[in-house]
A and B are shown apart, each in its own frame.
Chain A
């Protein structure tokens, strides 16, 4: 096959097509978003779910049905999906289930830099970590093999640099893969219904599987010894143990070193590493984020050096690896700061933040483009923690603050984030209303803007922009029992928006204001997709059924 220049995300998508993944699902999140988009473009069946928990459950169902399933998310998405993840480790799967977690060391576009290799250990799942696009492609096949051989979900851990860097991929020849197994249902009540009586033996089965995988992993091709470019045979001064993109930084930083490259990061090949470490004069673990490999090796009595604590923070690169190897803990020179991102000049939400700032609102914020309202010139956001957290945090503040302060609290959340995990917050608001009432402002720009304009359930279009059932944000709010639900275009009517906001803040009632105006970057595309949907309906009236609520189909 021809050499291709692919990002890690695209390489995973290509492998998923080649291996016959029947369903790919996930929630957009940098740096994972492009996997499902590319999978869809390559002809795969790809869907956005409302959030990562639902995505994982859909993928698990597909894998219970003997299919090969792919679920994608960013690292913090795995927190949302953790509940089904831990028990899916017990149930296992009939087909294959690959869960991509795209970590973001250095927080290029995230609220934390958690290291999800820890999840593999905590849940008891095998975890694979590629270093570049070729490995992302190749290792995906191995992930499927592991998942099907041991009937276990596999965590596929990528990082920002692996997801978004492009490198050369030589794909496998067409037809090299056998056909994927045909989906079918086989009843397995004891294996899949996790009541305590079934779960107790399931936990033992899981640990037995992990022990087998650990034994297999010691010799598997995911872990390999790579002599450095300038290493002389028998040169045993420096050995490096590394995983992911850190392997490549290390190979460049220390061309004379031998590198034991770990692709199966859970369970770790402890015994092979022990032999490697004993064969060199000095053995250093080079890993981004938490010292996961170093701690595990040391706990097993393998003598290795780990990086200094200062290198736990941020991404690694060649100069930092050189410093680690040199034991250099002097302060690092900060890179010059470039221009920070900002709300687009024509963003419809400038007026919203100007109004919030003007009235000194206490803004419980959320995650999306609109988080940029925290920066100059508005600085109109007081909290931002997790997807959907704006509503709960706003309610908590309302409950405890003195009434005059409480009335200034407004929760601000985007449309996609609202669907992702804001609905539960609204239920809480109706169930435990603060004495001063509360105001939730949904900034509905008709797209998941921050991650690159993906569809979501409230756009009424699927991942590939075709019409489907459409969730009504105002309808949901009204159905939950919010007394005042108003839709307004703040860009077209800024004075009306300001009046409405002040009125709702003053009222001791529950209010949802849907501030609706399409994202300036997405508006032209949205119009095109709407035209396309209208043409589809005109050509094939049966398609119009997709525009109706399910009950009316």
Chain B
């Protein structure tokens, strides 16, 4: 895993300031829930945001990916292949399938980052990985936590807040990608 810097970032153009995140996993793992939370957090931070995925057949245990893009102005809702700044993968089997989405020097956050035993609840891997991702993003933590609470029923708030903190602490502060 590397927190590479992008040479083509920071050119001052509006679209160049867009952050591209791809989340991948299998149906039922909470990929779409995680991307909903991330997109909502960007909205709460006052940014333009778009999120794209394919529903339907993928719900039956197949591969699921979801694209989240945010910045001052987002055009296409889909992250172009090979241009994701971050790839968050929830299922080990999906790492190789989704890897081509990542740009050279982009950051891969894979499920082996989070030891299963350390999770407060197995189903909170998605939120733990969001916690890890949040270290790299220029989004206020409060906005992400608010988005988590808005997306989940109250009885799941505590366990997911713990999972988020766990993920955050697993990644030493890498500094955001400018």
Interface residues of A (CB under 8 A from B): 3, 5, 30-31, 108-109, 132, 160-161, 164-168, 229-230, 245, 248-249, 251-252, 255, 317-319, 335-345, 369, 372, 450-452
Contact B52 A164 (CB under 8 A): yes
A342 contact from B61, B75, B80, Cβ within 8 A: B61
Instruction: Judge whether A317 and B76 touch: CB under 8 Å.
Output: yes
CA of A339 to CA of B78, assembled, Å: 20
Q: Does B140 contact A (CB under 8 A)?
A: no
Known: A31-B55, A341-B59. 9 other contacts (CB 8 A): A160-B54, A164-B52, A230-B13, A245-B76, A248-B75, A317-B78, A336-B96, A338-B98, A340-B63
Q: Are B61 and A339 in contact (CB under 8 A)?
A: yes
Q: How many A-B residue pairs have CB under 8 A?
A: 124
Q: How far is the CB of B55 from chain A (nearest CB, A)?
A: 6
Q: Which of chain A's residues have a CB closer than 8 A to the CB of B82? A: 319
Taking the nearest CB of chain A, how far is it from the CB of B34, in angstroms? Answer: 14
**In the bound complex, CA of A336 to CA of B15 (Å):** 27
Please indicate the chain B residues that have their CB under 8 angstroms from the CB of A342 in the complex: 60-62
Which of chain A's residues have a CB closer than 8 A to the CB of B56? 30-31, 108-109, 450-451
Chain B nearest CB from A343 CB (Å) reads 7
Report the Cα distance A344→B59, complex, angstroms. Answer: 10
- Complex interface residues of chain B between 25 and 76 (CB less than 8 A to chain A): 26-27, 36, 39-40, 43, 48-63, 65, 73-76
B77 within 8 A of A: yes
CB distance A339 to B63 under 8 Å? yes
Closest A residue, CB atoms, query B14: A229
Per a CB cutoff under 8 Å, which of B49, B53, B60, B74 touches A341?
B60
* Interchain CB contact under 8 A, B53 and A164: yes
Q: List 10 A-B contacts (CB under 8 A).
A: A30-B55, A161-B52, A161-B78, A164-B54, A167-B49, A229-B13, A336-B96, A338-B94, A339-B97, A342-B62
- Whether A319 touches B77, Cβ cut-off 8 Å, given contacts A5-B39, A229-B14, is no
Closest CB in chain B relative to A244 CB, distance in Å: 12
B60–A369 touching, CB < 8 Å: yes
- CB-based contact A251/B54 at 8 Å: no
Residues of A within 8 A of B40 (CB): 5
The verdict on B100 contacting chain A, using a C-beta distance below 8 Å, is yes
CA of A229 to CA of B98, assembled, Å: 30
Is B93 in contact with chain A by the CB < 8 A criterion?
A: yes
A-side contacts of B100, CB under 8 Å: 335-336
Whether A317 contacts B80 in the complex (CB less than 8 A), given A229-B13, A230-B13, A339-B93, comes out as: yes
Residue of A at shortest CB range from B53? A164
